């Protein structure tokens, strides 16, 4: 897709996910990279349309930063939990993420 987009001006691509079920899989690392999927997409300038919300690459970076800050906050430590459990508890949906991450600068979900 990246090659197609880059081959001619005016071509755009995006990842479209119709539901927010398991949306936090975007924070997982891929098999071939230790970098989270959400940051790899942002690096390649590929927006994500998630349950009707378009996340720009800049917003994806901010979302990752906010999630990182929240998981390192002593009020919500991830240290004693499996990452999947932490995400399930604090960010099970976009609505929950909007509320939970607002203090960390996420105002665009």
25-29, 58-62, 70-74, range with greatest mean pLDDT:
58-62
Each residue of 39-62: pLDDT tens digit? 999 999 999 999 999 999 999 999
Q: What are phi and psi of 76, to 5 degrees?
A: -140, 55
Count of Cβ atoms closer than 10 Å to residue 33 Cβ: 10
Identify the sign of the CA torsion 91, 34, 12, 65: positive
Average pLDDT, the chain: 92
Pairwise pLDDT comparison (77 vs 21), residue with the higher score: 21
pLDDT at residue number 33: 86
CA distance 94 to 109: 7
pLDDT at residue number 19: 94
Q: Are 50 and 23 in contact (CB under 8 A)?
A: yes
pTM of the predicted model as reported, rounded to 2 decimal places: 0.89
CA distance 40 to 43: 5
pLDDT at residue number 82: 85
């Amino acid at each position: 897709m990246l090659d197609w987009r880059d081959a001619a001006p005016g071509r755009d691509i995006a990842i479209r996910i119709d539901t927010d079920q398991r949306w936090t899989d975007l924070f997982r690392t891929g098999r071939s990279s230790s970098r989270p999927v959400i940051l790899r997409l942002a690096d390649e300038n590929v927006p994500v349309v998630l349950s009707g919300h378009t996340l720009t690459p800049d917003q994806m970076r901010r979302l990752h930063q906010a999630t990182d800050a929240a998981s390192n906050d002593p009020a919500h430590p991830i240290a004693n939990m499996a990452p999947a459990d932490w995400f399930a508890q604090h960010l099970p949906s976009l609505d929950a993420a909007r509320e939970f991450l607002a203090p960390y600068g996420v105002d665009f979900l």
